[in-house]
């Protein structure tokens, strides 16, 4: 089990039981390779475990932006969000110990998640009329 983190167009979903807001699923061929953190599919959704997402958010100083939203409805994605993701990347790049690095795979998962956040936030702000982020 874990979270689903979406960045994209906010849409109104409807069913016989009612309606709700969500973030529309999307893939983009120009998204960074491996941006989904798991399978390398260039989609606007990642599914990290509860533990890894919380640890990531604390380690890159994004807990207030990302850790406290879990289970929420979509919220508007802003230029300030994008700037905070870029700032988190700069913060993490300056760290001497890379806590997200996995020696077995040679992948730094924190960098992968930051790349994903930065790329999809920019794409969403440039291409969506109702840019949103949702963590469920």
pLDDT at site 35: 44
Q: How far apart are CA 60 and CA 16, in angstroms?
A: 41
% of the chain with per-residue pLDDT over 70: 90
* Mean of per-residue pLDDT scores for the chain: 86
Q: How far apart are CA 96 and CA 52, in angstroms?
A: 20
Q: How far apart are CA 128 and CA 97, in angstroms?
A: 37
In tens, the pLDDT along 104-116 reads 877 888 888 999 9
Q: Residue 33: pLDDT band by 50, 70, 90 thresholds?
A: low
Q: How far apart are CA 6 and CA 74, in angstroms?
A: 9
Is the pLDDT at 136 greater than 70? The verdict is yes
Q: How far apart are CA 108 and CA 95, in angstroms?
A: 13
pLDDT at site 86: 97
Q: How far apart are CA 114 and CA 126, in angstroms?
A: 18
Residue 41 main-chain phi, psi, to 5 deg: -85, 130
pLDDT at site 120: 94
- Region of residue 60 (left: phi > 0; alpha: psi -120 to 50; beta: else): alpha
pLDDT at site 70: 67
- Are the CB atoms for 45 and 6 separated by under 8 Å? yes
pLDDT at site 39: 46
- Report residue 119 as tokens: 């790329």
Element spanning 112, H or E: helix 109-127
Is the pLDDT at 24 greater than 50? The verdict is yes
């Amino acid at each position: 089990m874990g979270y689903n983190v979406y960045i994209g167009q906010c849409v109104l979903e409807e069913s016989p039981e009612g309606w709700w807001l969500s973030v529309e699923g999307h893939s983009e061929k120009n998204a960074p390779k491996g941006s989904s953190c798991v399978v390398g599919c260039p989609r606007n959704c990642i599914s990290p475990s509860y533990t890894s997402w919380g640890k990531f958010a604390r380690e890159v100083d994004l807990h207030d932006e990302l850790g406290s939203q879990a289970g929420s409805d979509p919220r508007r994605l802003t230029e300030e969000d994008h700037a905070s993701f870029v700032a988190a990347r700069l913060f993490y790049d300056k760290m001497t110990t890379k806590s997200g690095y996995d020696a077995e795979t040679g992948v730094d998962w924190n960098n992968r998640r930051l790349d994903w956040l930065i790329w999809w936030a920019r794409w969403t702000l440039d291409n969506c009329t109702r840019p949103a982020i949702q963590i469920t």
